[in-house]
Amino acid sequence: MTGKGGVGKTTVAVALGQRAAAEGKRTIVCEVASQENASRIFDHAEVGFHEVEMEENLWSISIDPDESMREYVLLQLKVRAMRDLLFRSRIFGYLAAATPGLKELVTIGKIWELAQLDRKVKSGRKYDLVIVDAPATGHGIGFLQTPRTFAAIARVGPIHSQAQRLDSFITDREQTGVAIVALPEEMPVNESAALEHDLREEVGVAVDRIYMNGLYPERFSKAEAESLSGLAGGEDGAVRAAARAALSEHGRARSQRAQLARLRRRVEAPVKTLPFLFEPELGPEAARRLSRRLG
Amino acid sequence: MPSIGEILDGKGICICAGSGGVGKTTTSAAIASGMAARGLKVCVLTIDPAKRLADSLGLKELGNEAKRVDRKLFEAQGVEMEGELWAMMLDAKATFDELVARQAPDEESRDRVLNNRIYQQISNALAGSQEYMAMEKLFELHTEGRFDLLVLDTPPTRNALDFLDAPRRLTQFIEGRSLRVFMRPTGLAARVAGRSASVMLSVFKRIVGFDLIADLAEFFNAFSGMVDGFQARAKRVNSLLADRRTCFLVVCGPQGEPIDEAVYFHRKLVEAKLPFGGVIVNKVHYPAERLRGDGADLPAALAEKLGDEDLAGRVAENFADYQALAERDARNIERLAAELRTKGVIRIPHLDEDVHDLGGLAEINRYLFATGEERMALAAGRTQPPRRRA
């Protein structure tokens, strides 16, 4: 799942996870860069670098690049003394931090590992679906391109072959798909269309679906709006405020429909709409209501 | 509650910071055009890769050089423009290249750095280099002294901390003292550090591949003559950020999560002793005027006026939904003001139209440049806006 910042990526990712879990698929939602947005939706304690069950069949993990690096090294080096030497060494930390893109690479490596049916991590569960709450627009493209960039820099060695394997994993349309979350506003629509283009052309991944999130209901017809506009300048405070709120909602719902039509014209992937939820804070129940609309 | 004009009075630099998706780019553009309309020569800088600022300023594209926004565009929106508005989009790579060219002792070392593959990766992609270059460009423009006010739209980092920390992290990396000594196999330090270091290096080589290590070593060697220059410059950038003529504004949205981030970012600013100017909350659902009673008789009152019970019911339901959001926003903003111990919270209402052009910026500025009382009155629709300015 990717999209511009603030469009509700995590909520949609969780809703998608709930949907899959309800269908009996064991699903995990991954946060990257040590974010904890998914666990926050469940009002759960931070999960960190652990696979934690949020609901039946629905798990969550927050991928910390340093932990991923550590795990990767553990899997690579079988000699215990060598591992200890590496982890004790401050130079190793410097080198790892100095190598551009290594953090992103080991993060994607961990996602790949989670998606394997033959888990590398001892006693790792098998997941049917791995949902990644990926970085926002600008960084999302770079993130997905990391393996290819890396395969080009490190021309030899295990990292080279593993980076290549990750790149084919990301670009394998049978295995990996991208969903973009958008909002029905001018700039998010522009960005989503540009993002879809770049994902297809530059990264070479399949964009399977675009979720237009936060769509207001069309509560009032044009004729009704006209009869309300008379009240909006009236005397009665409460009636006037209610009429104004209705007109404002009517206007926004209409401009949102125009943006939805514009998005549909500009993208190739099917666009699915999700309603705006009139709720103070979004929790698991709100996400579940969205999940029923995901289809 | 002061207006943005009062907060920025006498300031030379305004830095808008906050998490992604809260309207930072739009806010920066609005502030810059508003201050320009009031007679200043203003430049707004963005490093947003999505070119949103160019869109909203009616510019085809922005480059690494400042471009002036055509006065006629403002006039077409009925906006008086007394000063000048300029805009640029930061090209982090080009800025980094310029910086290397300036710091390099000679052409040969310059080219060695520019052609190094590790450098090319860093200048393009290393986390923090965009932020660092934004500071660089800001410093450069400030030193040139062409503008009265510089407004910086900071990059949409997921973690607000990244942004403040970027200059330090990057100089530390370029400095790379601890690394360089181990890169030279014949170096004294390597011999002193002894066998464990060389074993360590060989292990690292086995993991990442030999080329990478060679490139890294080359990078640090090529950079070695420039470290002092970089450090001196970073120091000056830091003191510019802490200057009393610099002002940090925190931009956020009214939902719980953006508010948490704003609180966190404010704390980081205070810890770093950087000058905090105020906080702008975008897309706020303003409460309607205080209603008598609990509004239980609203559907009936509406039905009487509209003569349509079904419609009245839907209007009342919509109003209740809106009020619930307004209450949430008010609660969150109250918490924000308490945490920040400030009255300087500027609330921009959730406008009926989303903002993506100069007309929209002017609409936002009616609120940004109003005092607190004026803002409440505007939002409630009780007064006509003052003479329109950007």
From the number of C-beta atoms within 10 Å of its C-beta (0-12, 13-18, 19+), residue B148 rates as middle
Whether the complex's predicted ipTM is more than 0.95 is answered with: no
Q: Is residue B113 within 8 Å of B100, Cβ to Cβ?
A: yes
Domain membership flag for residue A223: no
Note whether residue A242 is domain-resident. Answer: no
pLDDT band at B383 (very low <50, low <70, confident <90, very high): very low
Task: Convert the pLDDT of each residue in A220-258 to its tens digit.
Answer: 999 999 989 888 877 777 888 899 889 989 999 999 999
Whether residue A205 is contained in a domain is answered as yes
A137 at interface of B, judged by CB pairs closer than 8 A: yes
Which carries the bigger pLDDT value, residue A252 or residue B205? A252
pLDDT interval class at B175 (50, 70, 90): low
Q: What CATH number has the domain bearing residue A174?
A: 3.40.50.300
B384, pLDDT greater than 60: no
The model's pLDDT over B58-82, given as tens digits with 9 standing for 90+, comes to 777 777 788 899 888 888 888 889 9
DSSP A113-169: HHH-SS-SSTTPPP-SEEEEEPPPHHHHHHHHHHHHHHHHHS-SHHHHHHHHHHHHH
If we measure between CA atoms, which residue out of A173, A172, A157, A186 comes closest to residue A4?
A: A186
Nearest chain B alpha carbon to A155: B211
Q: Of chain B residues 36-75, which have a CB less than 8 A from chain A?
A: 48-50, 52, 55-56
Determine how many CB atoms are found less than 10 A away from the CB of residue A118: 6
Q: How far apart are CA A133 and CA A3, in angstroms?
A: 10
Start-to-end Cα distance in chain A: 16
* Residues B76, B107 contacting (CB under 8 angstroms): no
At residue A226, what is the residue type?
Answer: E
How long a stretch of residues is chain B? 390
Q: Are A105 and A147 in contact (CB under 8 A)?
A: yes
User: Tens digits of per-residue pLDDT, B233-262?
Assistant: 778 888 898 999 999 999 999 988 889 889
Dig out the tokens for A185 from the structure: 């506003």
Tell me if A126 is assigned to some domain.
yes
Contacts of B257 in chain A (CB under 8 A): 37, 40
Closest-approach residue (CA) in chain B for A234: B305
CA A102 to centroid of chain Cα atoms: 21
The answer to whether residue A259 is domain-embedded is: no
Q: Would residue A59 count as lying in a domain?
A: yes
* Inter-chain Cβ pairs, chain A and chain B, closer than 8 A: 208
Convert the pLDDT of each residue in A55-73 to its tens digit: 999 999 999 988 898 888 8
In a domain, A286, yes or no: yes
- Does the beta carbon of A91 lie under 8 angstroms from any beta carbon of chain B? yes
Using a CB-CB cut-off of 8 Å, the residues of chain B touching A98 are 173, 176, 179, 216
- How far apart are the C-alpha atoms of B20 and B155, rounded to whole Å? 8
Q: Do B306 and A231 touch (CB under 8 A)?
A: yes
The rounded distance, in Å, linking the Cα atoms of B349 and A232 is 18
pTM: 0.84
Q: Is the pLDDT reported for residue A215 higher than 80?
A: yes
Contact A220 B205 (CB under 8 A): no
From first CA to last CA, the distance across chain B in angstroms is: 20
Q: Report CB contact under 8 Å: A246, B381.
A: no
Which domains, from first to last, does chain B contain? 4-187+225-286+325-379 (3.40.50.300)
What are the φ/ψ torsions at residue B277 (nearest 5 degrees)? Answer: -100, -35
With 90 as the cut, is the pLDDT of residue B385 above it?
no
Q: Are B79 and B390 in contact (CB under 8 A)?
A: yes
**Chain A interface, best mutation among B51, B118, B203, B304, by max A CB count within 10 A:** B203
As a whole number of angstroms, the distance between CA B191 and CA B185 comes to: 8
In single-letter form, the type of residue at position B262 comes to A
Cross-chain Cβ contact A237/B306 below 8 Å: no
Residue A73: give the domain boundaries: 2-216+268-291
Contact status of A231 with chain B (Cβ, < 8 Å): yes
Counting the structural domains of chain A, the total is 1
Each as own residue / partner, the long-range contacts of residues B124-128 (CB below 8 Å, 24 or more positions apart, any chain) are B124/B92, B124/B93, B125/A100, B125/A101, B125/A142, B125/A149, B126/A100, B126/B170, B126/B173, B127/A103, B127/B162, B128/B162, B128/B165, B128/B166, B128/B169, B128/B170
Q: In what order do the strands lie in the sheet with A129-133?
A: A52-55, A58-62, A27-31, A129-133
